Every structure is written in structure tokens, then in C-alpha cells.
Amino acid sequence: MKITTPKLLISGCGRSGTKYIAELLKSFGVNASHEVPDPKFDVVIDWHLISYNKFYDTPMIHQVRNPLDTISSATKIYKVSWEIISEKIPIKKSDSILLKSMKYYYYWNKLAEEKSLYTYRIENIENEIEKILKLIDIKEYDKSIIESISKETNSRKHTDYSWDALKKVDLSLTNKIIELGKSYGYEIKN
């Protein structure tokens, strides 16, 4: 019996555009899944991948989104997800939802970095898609497809938090998030 595994894994924080990249890859004809960790897919995109080693031989890349956008959106993560997240990173039940989201961005992305070949910014997908497609042996594609997929895929209404709001919650953690964001290439004005 032949054992199959995906060709590529993509992970990072939930609310970092994982649903968007899944839809984009599908539009290129890739057999991709979003939060369905099944070896029948060529590409599995799932924030949960950080919390287990189901496909330990499959290369993983790490997707990030602007820190403030991700943290603000993460405040709408479902309760059951927080239970999974808190098993891997230092989140307390008593933490505010904003503090949980801040810790999630920082610590989850640090875990993802450790397991990944490289990190890319979803906002820079036009320049990254060729590299991603090459990892799964797709050499020819229509780059104009990128514009046909809504960047609002899976968006949820949320409060947009500022750096000042984060600093009021935890100044030290905010500074770590700022430095992490800068290391990913984000221009952060705080």
C-alpha cells in the first residue's frame, strides 16, 4: 500500500489569510485544503499544523500577515481554538481576549518559524506565488488569477486595535511583536 502525504504544508496564525491562500491555490488548479489535514491533498493549509507533526516529512512554509491586522482579527477566534492554542503557548484563562491575541501572534509565529523552510508575507503574494507553486511542481500559471480572488475571504467584523492599545495591555510583549513584525519586513510606525 502506497502511503501518500501532501507535497507542501502552509501554516501560521489563524486569521493570517490561510483561507485566502487556499482559495488562491485552488484557483490555480492545486488540490489544496483549508483546515482539513488529509494526505489526499497536495497542499494542506492549516494553523493547527504547528500543534502536531502529522506530516513530519512534508516541507512547511510559514505565512504571516501584518501584526495589527492579525491580532485585531484574532480577537474573533472561536473558544475551542483558544483551548488548542493554549496547549502550546503561555495563555491564561484570565488573559483578556486582546492579550491572548497578542500572545498568539508572537508565540505561534515563533513556533511556525522553527518548523518552516521560510516565511512570507501574504500581502506580498504577487511576488511569492511563483516560489510557492514551484515547491509543488507547477511551473506555468496565469498570474492574473491573483486579482480574481477576494482578499476579504473569510473576513470577520472586529475592532481595529492600534499599537497604543496593545502597549496599554502589555508593553514588553508589544515591543516583541513590533520587532517580530519588522523581521518579517513590515514597516511599523508606532
Domain around 130: 8-183
> So what's the pLDDT on residue 142?
81
**154-171 confidence digits (pLDDT tens):** 566 778 999 999 999 999
> Residue 95 falls within a domain, yes or no?
yes
> Residue 135 falls within a domain, yes or no?
yes
On whether the CB atoms of residues 12 and 112 are closer than 8 A, the answer is yes
> So what's the pLDDT on residue 190?
73
> Residue 189 falls within a domain, yes or no?
no
- Work out the percent of the chain whose per-residue pLDDT is above 70: 94
Which residues are within 8 A (CB) of 157 and not within 5 positions of it... i.e. 6 or more apart?
76
Q: How confident is the model at residue 20 (pLDDT cuts 50, 70, 90)?
A: very high
- Of 24 and 3, the structure prediction assigns the larger pLDDT to 24
Average pLDDT over residues 146-151: 73
> Residue 50 falls within a domain, yes or no?
yes
> So what's the pLDDT on residue 4?
73
Q: How confident is the model at residue 147 (pLDDT cuts 50, 70, 90)?
A: confident
CATH number at residue 114: 3.40.50.300
